Structure 1
Amino acid sequence: MNTMTLDSWCKPEGATKSSPLGLIRFRISDADHIRMEEAEEQLKHSDKSDAILDVDLSNLELETPPQCGKLSDCQLRVYIHKDDQRGHFHLVGHRASDGSLVYTNAVMVDLLG
């Protein structure tokens, strides 16, 4: 498993821009890592711009900032970065309290080791 600690942002519905939220910490399982690598390879050979992978929250071991609270859903968005043609991912979800979009910085899939 890989533990990630990433900056996060929150964008309430109707807002024009996101606000910094703080650090989100989570663990990527070996199975999810493999799924991200497979998605990266598929994206390199297709015309799709990204792939959304659902994540089992019970395996994620998610820690959010106090002002965020629980997330009602989480997904890993995998995409090919246009500048380096490498796979990147970030965590995306919605704050359970109000449905605001919450997301993290992107990280290269290769960095998961």
Structure 2
Amino acid sequence: MNMSEAEMRHIAEMVAALDKAAGKKPASTAGELNRQQICAALGVSESTIRRLEQAGLPYTPVGARSKRYDLEECKNWLKENNQCPSGTTRTEGSTSALWSAAKDFTISCRKAQLRVMPSE
């Protein structure tokens, strides 16, 4: 999902307005986002952000458990490291091999059913 800068800013502003209405503190600067905000800005899930953190996604620790993310730094890191937001994907070769294995299994099951069926 490719989003323009204006769309990402709009999402960050909406989340900040919701946080303010809920009585939460806003991020300390405009470029620092919490995990939910960075997820919305990048269009990925929280588990993807956790996986990317382990791979080296830049963040700033705030307190014992909180983290803040600079949107521009994260975007640059993603471009430099070619990280796929959805994880690894299968290639066509492995998919076709799975289909042929499934087809062979189905044929063998049908043959087994034919042998087991009682004759009348």
Calculate the TM-score normalised by the size of structure 2. 0.23
Structure number with higher relative contact order (C-alpha < 8 Å, ≥ 6 residues apart): 1
Higher helix residue share:
2
